[in-house]
Structure 1
Amino acid sequence: MEKRDQLSLLSDPGTEFRLVAEHTSKSKFTRRRVTVIVGALCFSAGLVYFSGQSPNSVAVLSGSQAPCGDLQNSSKEFLWENVKPSAQLEWVDCYDKFKCSKLTVPLDYHDKKAGKVSIAMLKIPSAFPSTSEEYRGPVLINPGGPGGSGVSLAKGRGELLQGIVGKGYDIIGFDPRGTGQTSPPLSFFPSAAARIQWNLKNGPLVNSTEGALSMAYSRAQVLGDIAEANARNASQYISTASVATDMLSIMKAHGRDKLLYWGFSYGSVLGATYAAMYPDNIERLVIDGVMDADEYYSARWITNLVDTDKTLTAFFTGCFSAGPSGCPFHAPSPQLIASRLDALYASVKARPVPVFTSLGYGVVDYSMLRQLIFTSLYSPYNSYPQLADALAALEKNDGGPLLGLYARSEEKLECDCPRTPVPELPLSYDAALGIRCTDGVPVEDDVEELQAHFEKLGKLSSFADVWAGFHLACAGWKVRPKWRFEGPFVGNTSFPILLVGNTADPVTPLSHAFGMSKKFKDASVLIQNSLGHCSLSAVSICTMRHIRAYFNDGVVPINGTVCEVQSKLFARGSDKDILETLSAEDAELFKVTKELSEGFQVRFPY
């Protein structure tokens, strides 16, 4: 199927994953540790990131005896602080089977006297030595955000991504400026505890109470002051233009002039920025879950929601098709399921549900419910079965399942620890806010203008209340970047760009992919006929075949090529029937892509 007018939006059932408690490994030497999951309703998260963590874990409250700190606090563990930064790539063994390095690059590419940045990188080595004809080079990956850690993605999912592009490639995840193990670090607060204390005072969604929008605006002003006072210098050098140039520096450190890249969500903005700045330095460039770069740099964040409600509608139709046994939130029609959800909204808004279970405690309120449903739109084939279970339980005044799902996107605050190394976090909230606010034009809206912006969003989607914070958060931002690329986002690239978009992506609509493709000569859009954000939110052997052929053989699919998916909504059975119909190569692609899709995680709410 090649023609766009032949598309049919799927509302089929997908796979289930179960929620279990996160277990902390025991150690001979332990210290009392209390881990608290904090409801951080801060305006600082990005679109999405792909996590290297297991999707089947949640930690709400742990008072057990456990090692103080987490991954890096044991002398036997790899310590990033022991990696010596160098202007040449010096790889050291890390995490038993990977290679790690810190590459020094100019803090300011236009003022070499300004200092240096040390870019942290983690590599999954190719199966072939660099001298072999089978070796293809290093593919840089970006998980999105902004603020997502490429190191975390490579560590947890890099081997799977290598299984798609091919063993001839190295997979390299790097932490962009201000994130993860890259230094200098970016932090608005003196400690994680101080930042979480600030976040605890956040208000509800902007339309949920009178004065909520004004409160959010005032808090954005204060947070902007905090960032300027505590992180002004670091914030000036974290722009996407600088990170794009860092990618070129990384490739040159490998002795190569052209980029190999696969970026997701915000990573599409990073990729498009690179392509516009360095069109002659591209070997392969895939941007997946494409955001319109002009929309991003304008700081408007409006047209992202064009297809959002389409994804929610698929929950209603999919639940209806699954029947009462497949979807406990079932009703006699999709419209009645939608009405059932509206009634639940009203009930929880009037009477928030208290929760106290062995896994944790809290209060399920209207804002939490709205945000949880919104995040489920990112990976519906995985999340909708659990969402339906949680909604049905909430109707019975049991908020435990929903609180458990919500906790997966929350922060952990660990107390009573001595000095620990910089933690390995999949997403930096401070960097997320700093990057997109320094990239965007200054947001000088007053409360009335922000209200008008919210109402404009509301004409596109029922989730305007959840999304409004992306624009609003920058209303208090004061730091301007030393270097900001202002376009145009066009180019005659040395190799055609491949853009991948889903037919019902809740935050990066397919129209963005087609709009961006017109700006780069011979660029091609590969359409995945599925719900969710980015191609890896579903399993499509067809999509992965095309991406593999693009990297390995330089085959660019015809613009508008459509790929179907194997994922089904509300499918709670095994994959045996699917696997039996596949070749050995396709079966391996299916397994790899499914595991990647189950690692899809949204660090939210903002």
Structure 2
Amino acid sequence: MASILQLFFLAAATPSSNSKPEIQWGACNATEVGSSVPIVCGNLEVPLDYTEPSSNATLTLQLARVPASSQPSKGSILFNFGGPGATGRGTLGLLGPALLALTSGHYDLIAFDPRGTGNTLPFSCTDNDIEGDTMLSELILGNSSDVALGRLWTRGTINAELCFQKSKATGSLIGTAFVARDLISVVDALGEDGMLRYWGFSYGTTLGATVASMFPEKIDRMILDGVQNPHQYYNSPADFEEWSFSDNEFSGIFSSCVAAPDLCSLARENSTAAELEQSVWDLIDTVKYHPIALGSFMLDYNTLKAIIVLSMYTTFYWPALTTLLDMLLTGNTQGALAAALEILGGLGPTEEARQMFMSVMGIHCADRTVRLSSFDDFLPVVNKLYNTSKIFGDVTPEITAICAQWKMKAQEIYDGDFKAKTKKPVLFIGNTGDGFTPLTSAYNVSSGFKDSVVLEVNGYGHSSLAVPSTCVLNVVTAYWLNGTLPELGTICQADTPPFSNTTLTKRNAWGDISRHLGKIFQPI
């Protein structure tokens, strides 16, 4: 006899009477897509090249769907989790329980691996893992040595050529405009009301702004959360605005630590936040020239900066980060490796890291319209990044150098002004303490979409997923249920401050989301 779960999957896999036949839902391959809530999978054939309407060549989108927990479903919400390069299906499975709560439970939740990611027209520049690891090993930071920038520029030359030789047949087919059209193809195939409901995070906001600009009449509800500036994404040599608040969030680690000395081991009697921060800057500078041995592992400048960057996705990591920093500053390094690994999640390249890097290069560089002809042209861009952010400025020249010399261009690039009147208004969400996508960007992009509203979330971390807030839960569920926008100027407070004993407890709808934010977004 079939189990209740099997019967549920069977019911979920059966198309409703008004569904189009293009998507046939069925059980997922558990090794590829797993979830603690019911989830089903399906395929959809879409045009390989939307600029060639006479071509019969197609691409298979692999979709995953978490059925609404409250039936009957009011329709579907599509998701993009950022990157570019984050997989859709696996992330939906991971975040399914929390996203059901955040969307009221009345909608089916759908995601697919966008072009250039996962199994969807995967983009690669190497023939094997060894070559991929070599490419990753060259991702040094601009300030890591006095020869680093020259190495990055030359590595960019090499990567651009390797990627062109390996993937020139597909490198123009994975751009954001085509993914926007894929979203509409999914909407049309679902056989619902023909309208797009969408929640995009990080780079997913650039995708959302693109699809909303291209198809404003198709937008029913849309949340753009952790907003990237799409003007700079497409048309600037670097994403300068993204890092304009990074130093403020970095300083917030130390002010939050001093405010909770019983819970933050880095806090020292009579030390100010500014003094603690300066001691860490001194440590960073020391490690550049004198790496620290943690057992058989060498903690160098690049690794320490990587740990700090990952910790800024969410305050969940701040206790581990400040514990590690305290150990390094006091020379009591016993247990320091474990603290580092709690944030890094492991040592050395992984298949996930290799694929993410390939995807970021393939998608972002093909979308970017600006090229630089020489190292001398590259230096002013780097200097502007350095002037924008001390903590992040030397993290991003690696992708800047690669994109500046890229040899492929997306077959279609949205070249409009991101000004549109959507069928129904868009909700933007920005955190006051987001070091990756500042609140400024949410307002800048919102200004182009008529009647849209920005919800401010007073907390640290990247996107609203990083901030446990009952207020955010209430606002977004009301928006999904009724299309209700918050009043202009609404600010949601975090339920708990950083370094709180109750931060991210399982009673919260966010659960353990913050454990995974670094893996999900991975901007470069």
TM value normalised by structure 2: 0.88
Shift of 1:271: 0.4
Question: Could you say which residue in structure 2 is the equivalent of 1:93?
Answer: 27
What is the aligned-residue identity percentage?
Answer: 28
- 1:208-228 per-residue CA deviation (whole Å, 9 max, x = no partner) reads 212210100100111111110
Backbone CA RMSD of aligned residues: 2.3
Question: How far apart in 2 are the matches of 1:400 and 1:472?
Answer: 32
Question: Could you say which residue in structure 2 is the equivalent of 1:550?
Answer: 479
Shift of 1:327: 2.6
Question: Could you say which residue in structure 1 is the equivalent of 2:292?
Answer: 353
- 1:151-174 per-residue CA deviation (whole Å, 9 max, x = no partner) reads 111111122201111222111111
Return the letter of the residue paired with 1:259: L
* Residue among 47, 54, 62 paired with 1:120: 62
Return the letter of the residue paired with 2:514: S
Shift of 1:339: 2.1
- 1:11-64 per-residue CA deviation (whole Å, 9 max, x = no partner) reads xxxxxxxxxxxxxxxxxxxxxxxxxxxxxxxxxxxxxxxxxxxxxxxxxxxxxx
Question: Could you say which residue in structure 2 is the equivalent of 1:214?
Answer: 150
Question: Could you say which residue in structure 2 is the equivalent of 1:296?
Answer: 233
Structure 2 vs 1, CA of residues 406 and 478 (structure 1 numbering), >3 Å: closer, same or farther? farther
* Residue among 534, 545, 560 paired with 2:463: 534
Question: Could you say which residue in structure 2 is the equivalent of 1:265?
Answer: 202
Question: Could you say which residue in structure 1 is the equivalent of 2:177?
Answer: 241
Return the letter of the residue paired with 1:559: L
* Residue among 334, 344, 365 paired with 1:437: 365
Question: Could you say which residue in structure 2 is the equivalent of 1:106?
Answer: 47
Extract unaligned runs of 5+ from structure 2. 1-19
Shift of 1:194: 2.5
Question: Could you say which residue in structure 2 is the equivalent of 1:597?
Answer: 514
Question: How far apart in 1 are the matches of 2:440 and 2:406?
Answer: 29
Question: How far apart in 2 are the matches of 1:219 and 1:155?
Answer: 36
Shift of 1:247: 0.3
Structure 2 vs 1, CA of residues 297 and 87 (structure 1 numbering), >3 Å: closer, same or farther? farther
- 1:493-519 per-residue CA deviation (whole Å, 9 max, x = no partner) reads 000000000112102111111111110
Question: How far apart in 1 are the matches of 2:21 and 2:160?
Answer: 34
Question: How far apart in 1 are the matches of 2:446 and 2:358?
Answer: 31
8 Å CA contact 1:239, 1:439 repeated in 2: yes
8 Å CA contact 2:156, 2:403 repeated in 1: yes
- 1:362-408 per-residue CA deviation (whole Å, 9 max, x = no partner) reads 211012112221221221x2111110111112231625145414532
Say whether 1:334 aligns with 2:268: no
Structure 2 vs 1, CA of residues 409 and 117 (structure 1 numbering), >3 Å: closer, same or farther? farther
- In the TM superposition, structure 1's runs of 4+ consecutive aligned residues that sit over 3 Å from their partners are 409-413, 423-427, 602-606
Say whether 1:175 aligns with 2:110: no
Structure 2 vs 1, CA of residues 445 and 405 (structure 1 numbering), >3 Å: closer, same or farther? farther
Structure 2 vs 1, CA of residues 324 and 162 (structure 1 numbering), >3 Å: closer, same or farther? closer
Question: How far apart in 2 are the matches of 1:297 and 1:410?
Answer: 33
SS in 2 for 1:528: strand
Alignment of 1:386-401 (within 5 A): 386-395=320-329, 396=331, 398=333, 399-401=336-338
Question: How far apart in 1 are the matches of 2:173 and 2:56?
Answer: 10
Question: Could you say which residue in structure 1 is the equivalent of 2:141?
Answer: 205
Structure 2 vs 1, CA of residues 354 and 604 (structure 1 numbering), >3 Å: closer, same or farther? farther
Shift of 1:329: 4.9
Question: How far apart in 2 are the matches of 1:354 and 1:605?
Answer: 28
Structure 2 vs 1, CA of residues 409 and 605 (structure 1 numbering), >3 Å: closer, same or farther? farther
8 Å CA contact 2:263, 2:499 repeated in 1: no
Structure 2 vs 1, CA of residues 533 and 605 (structure 1 numbering), >3 Å: closer, same or farther? closer
SS in 2 for 1:593: coil
Say whether 1:404 aligns with 2:341: yes
Structure 2 vs 1, CA of residues 545 and 445 (structure 1 numbering), >3 Å: closer, same or farther? farther
* Residue among 414, 423, 426 paired with 1:485: 414
Which of the pair is proportionally richer in helix?
A: 2
8 Å CA contact 2:371, 2:404 repeated in 1: yes
Say whether 1:499 aligns with 2:428: yes
Question: How far apart in 2 are the matches of 1:259 and 1:313?
Answer: 39
Question: Could you say which residue in structure 1 is the equivalent of 2:13?
Answer: none
- 1:253-308 per-residue CA deviation (whole Å, 9 max, x = no partner) reads 00132101111000000000000000000111000001111011114211112111
Alignment of 1:181-200 (within 5 A): 181-182=119-120, 184-200=121-137
Structure 2 vs 1, CA of residues 512 and 552 (structure 1 numbering), >3 Å: closer, same or farther? same
Alignment of 1:72-83 (within 5 A): none
Say whether 1:226 aligns with 2:165: no
Question: How far apart in 2 are the matches of 1:489 and 1:392?
Answer: 46
Return the letter of the residue paired with 2:286: S
Return the letter of the residue paired with 1:110: T
SS in 2 for 1:479: coil
Structure 2 vs 1, CA of residues 470 and 598 (structure 1 numbering), >3 Å: closer, same or farther? same
Structure 2 vs 1, CA of residues 477 and 411 (structure 1 numbering), >3 Å: closer, same or farther? farther
SS in 1 for 2:319: helix
Return the letter of the residue paired with 1:118: T
Question: How far apart in 1 are the matches of 2:309 and 2:148?
Answer: 19
Return the letter of the residue paired with 1:296: Y
Extract unaligned runs of 5+ from structure 1. 1-85, 414-422, 580-587
8 Å CA contact 2:240, 2:385 repeated in 1: yes
SS in 1 for 2:168: helix
Alignment of 1:363-374 (within 5 A): 363-374=298-309
8 Å CA contact 1:324, 1:330 repeated in 2: no
